[in-house]
């Protein structure tokens, strides 16, 4: 698997050399694309102001779970201690700033995977989040490919990152939902916050969500 990852990286790096017209957009997205995920979470939080406590909690966890996933990734990266592709191969074309942190798993992919899965979970609670969830999934896939294209990671690094981030986000929601929903309900009632979260509905899934039964 590691050998295949190295071969795929070599092929992708050759593709990068052959497509200089893509270097600018690829560099920008690989570096600043994380902002798009933050914006998606903010939009989802704004949409959740009229949603159920469960939907609000799921959006909150989408953001918090992303931070937790990044935290989990730090000891995992130190455990494997995989150098960056360019560390031992100076001939590699690198389109972003070189760093000395570990390559496996990719932090960017962990973040993207956790955010995408978090929004998918939220979309099961309220259909208003479905479009954002779809966009996040597409953006996460593009981020993973782009991080290889710019020479920052091996393919295995980004695949592992997506899987780790998604797993932490999904498992965290299943484990902590019992706590997150009442916390969301409490936060909704805080002075100064209650006026924003108007038209409150019950704490169950929204009509049209995956949990809705037959009519």
Sequence ranges of the domains in the chain: 2-188
Per-residue pLDDT at 211 exceeds 50: no
> Percent of the chain scored above 90 by pLDDT?
78
Looking at residue 191, what is its pLDDT?
A: 73
pLDDT tens-digit readout, 87-142:
888 889 999 999 989 999 999 999 999 999 999 999 999 998 999 999 999 999 99
Say whether pLDDT at 44 is over 80.
Answer: yes
Query: Per the structure block, which two tokens stand in for 200?
Result: 């409150």
Q: In 3-state terms, what secondary structure has residue 198?
A: coil
Distance of alpha carbon 193 from alpha carbon 215, whole angstroms: 34
pLDDT category, 199, cuts 50, 70, 90? very low
Per-residue pLDDT at 102: 94
Q: Characterise 101 by phi-psi region: left (phi > 0), alpha (psi -120 to 50), beta (else).
A: beta
The model carries a pTM of 0.86
Buried-exposed string 79-98: b where 16+ CB fall within 10 A, e elsewhere = eeebebbbeeeeebebbeee
Residue 187 vs residue 131, higher pLDDT: 131
The mean of the pLDDT values for the chain is 89
For residue 1, what pLDDT band results from cuts at 50, 70 and 90? Answer: low
Estimate the crossing angle of helix 107-125 against helix 34-47, to 10 degrees. Answer: 20
133 vs 122: CA distance, rounded Å? 8
CA–CA distance, 92 with 12 (Å, rounded to integer): 11
**pLDDT over 60 (residue 171):** yes
More confident residue, 69 or 201: 69
Q: What is the pLDDT of residues 10-41, one digit of tens each?
A: 999 999 999 999 999 999 999 999 999 999 99
Q: Which helix (H) or strand (E) holds 161?
A: helix 155-188
The CATH code that applies to domain 2-188 is 1.20.144
């Amino acid at each position: 698997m590691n050998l295949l990852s190295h071969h795929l990286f070599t092929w992708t790096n050759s593709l990068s050399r052959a497509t200089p017209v893509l270097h600018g957009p690829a560099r920008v997205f690989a570096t600043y694309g994380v902002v798009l995920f933050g914006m998606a979470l903010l939009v989802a939080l704004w949409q959740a102001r009229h949603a159920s406590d469960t939907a609000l909690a799921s959006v909150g966890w989408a953001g918090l779970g992303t931070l937790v996933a990044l935290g989990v990734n730090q000891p995992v990266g130190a455990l494997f201690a995989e150098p960056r592709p360019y560390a031992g191969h100076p001939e590699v074309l690198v389109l972003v700033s070189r760093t000395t942190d570990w390559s496996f798993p990719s932090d960017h992919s962990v973040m993207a995977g956790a955010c995408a899965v978090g929004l998918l979970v939220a979309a099961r609670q309220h259909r208003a989040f479905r479009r954002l969830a779809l966009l996040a999934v597409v953006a996460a896939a593009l981020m993973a490919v782009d991080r290889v294209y710019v020479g920052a990671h091996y393919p295995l690094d980004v695949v592992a990152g997506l899987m780790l981030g998604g797993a932490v986000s999904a498992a965290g929601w299943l484990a902590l939902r019992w706590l997150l929903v009442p916390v969301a309900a409490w936060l909704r009632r805080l002075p100064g916050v209650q006026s924003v979260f108007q038209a409150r509905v019950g704490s169950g899934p929204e009509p049209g969500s995956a949990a809705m039964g037959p009519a």
